[in-house]
Amino acid sequence: MMNAPAGEVRRTWSLALLRLSVWLGLWAIIGFFIGQIAWALLAGLSIYTAGHLLFAYQLHRWLAKPRIEPREGLGVWQEIYTELYRLKQRNRRRKRRLKDIVSEFQASTAALPDGAVVIDGRGRIVWFNQAAAVILALRAGQDNGQRIVNLIRHPRFGEFMVSAALDGTMAELEIPAPANEANTVLLRIVPYGDGQRLLVARDVSDQKRLESTRRDFVANASHELRTPLTVLRGYLEIMNEDAGESGALAAWQRPLREMSAQSQRMGRIIDSLLRLARLEAEGMHQRQEAIDIGEMIRQVVDGLKRHEARDHVFELDLQPGLNLYGRASELESVIANLAANAARYSPAASTIRIAWQAEAGGALLSVADNGPGIAPEHIPRLTERFYRVDSGRKASDGGTGLGLAIVKHSLEHHESELIIDSEPGAGSTFSARFPHSRLIIEDAA
């Protein structure tokens, strides 16, 4: 129902003023006959005001106690009562619609396998579904209105909530499940509205167990392959000794050389698989130390020049005194893999640029090559195991297909990320951005 138009409002108040004029005119006539016009007008105004106060009291009582309907008003008060009643009816219909929407939302969310918790701007629980009650050990009715950090007491969860509130972006965290610490829960915070947040909890225990099984299988299989491969390589070495120009196996010289090369490559693959399995199993709790990244880069480059990249030119842009707190073996693996890839996929005698410089919020390690470049559709999958780009990145190039996977896991252990910038025909730049919390900057003086 629509509000009264402006013209109708003007007519109503014009009529009210006319009634007031007639009312006062009648009392003025009475006052004229009794010789007390002023007192008569005052009496008329008093009665008129008392009537308005009575209608105002009825309105106030109606607003305070909606169940008590006001009596019929007179004049403009009747219009006010009518408009308020219409507004009340519209609010009732709006509340019913909102209630239906909320009921549908809660019913649909309750059917989700993931836990959902609505948190207000002060960190208190507004609502949660049944899955959240099971996964996060929340109690319906008792925990509503409680601060979520008082119920989920993992040390990292409080920091997670604070950082998510400050950043205002979606964040993720894995912690042991409050209901069963043998399980693992993935938590996501999604900000919305005026400081409100949606906490989504998913039980990823089966996924973690599957990853652990796969990791153990790869590690065990790689370890078991080492023994027969060692035997094969030993026999190949003996046969290569007899494959000289006058040896008994001279005719097999080329096949034996190829078999030796492939056995060495298989050995590198097995070593990479074992290293990757160790990285995944160790997590982020190994011993760390201050590392001179500039010196480590120089040592890696010197090693490449002696063996794999003799024809390449390396340009180094290294900020002195910029050190990093981390694990030396993993960081050396990152540098070695990125530099070796740049040398492997760049033309002979090309220039490879390696930079290590501080930047806003951290430091950046970058390795730029002059290779064939990478099409955009391949870039998101480059860190997958054994993933290869057809153009210029074939198994015959000698790589294991595991280098970037190792780089990715090593960088994750240092709260860093791998950034790939590449275009076909324009070369590639692989960068690692490290947070400021890991930097150790020596005083130049």
Q: Could you state, in chain order, the average pLDDT of each consecutive group of 10 residues for the chain (445 residues)?
A: 60 74 79 81 81 76 67 68 78 85 72 83 86 86 86 83 69 82 86 82 83 74 78 79 68 79 79 71 66 91 79 88 87 89 84 90 89 84 75 51 81 86 88 88 64
Of 404, 412, 406, nearest in space to 435 by CA: 412
For residues 210 and 200, the answer to whether their CB atoms sit within 8 Å is: no
CA distance 291 to 313: 25
pLDDT at 279: 67
Instruction: State which amino acid sits at residue 234.
Output: G
pLDDT at 2: 46
Helices assigned H by DSSP within 190-315: 205-241, 253-282, 293-306
Cα angle at 339 between 337 and 340, to 5 degrees?
Answer: 65
> Can you say whether the dihedral through the CA atoms of 322, 326, 331, 334 is positive or negative?
negative
pLDDT at 42: 84
| Beta-bridge mates of residue 353 | 315, 368
Pairing of strands 125-128, 417-422: unpaired
Rounded to the nearest 10°, the torsion over CA 274, 276, 278, 281 is -130
Rounded to the nearest 10°, the torsion over CA 299, 300, 304, 310 is -50
Instruction: State which amino acid sits at residue 301.
Output: V
Phi, psi of 75 (to 5 degrees): 65, -130
CA distance 361 to 412: 17
Q: Give CA 305 to chain center in angstroms.
A: 41
Pick the CATH number of 113-203 from 3.30.450.20, 3.30.365.10, 3.30.420.40, 3.40.30.10: 3.30.450.20
Q: pTM for this structure?
A: 0.51
For residues 335 and 410, the answer to whether their CB atoms sit within 8 Å is: no
3-state SS class at 102: helix
Residues of the chain with CATH 3.30.565.10: 289-441
Residues of the chain with CATH 3.30.450.20: 113-203
Of 200, 190, 196, 199, nearest in space to 121 by CA: 196
pLDDT at 364: 92
Pairing of strands 362-368, 428-435: antiparallel
pLDDT at 353: 92
Look at the chain and count its residues: 445
CATH superfamily entry for domain 289-441: Histidine kinase-like ATPase, C-terminal domain (3.30.565.10)
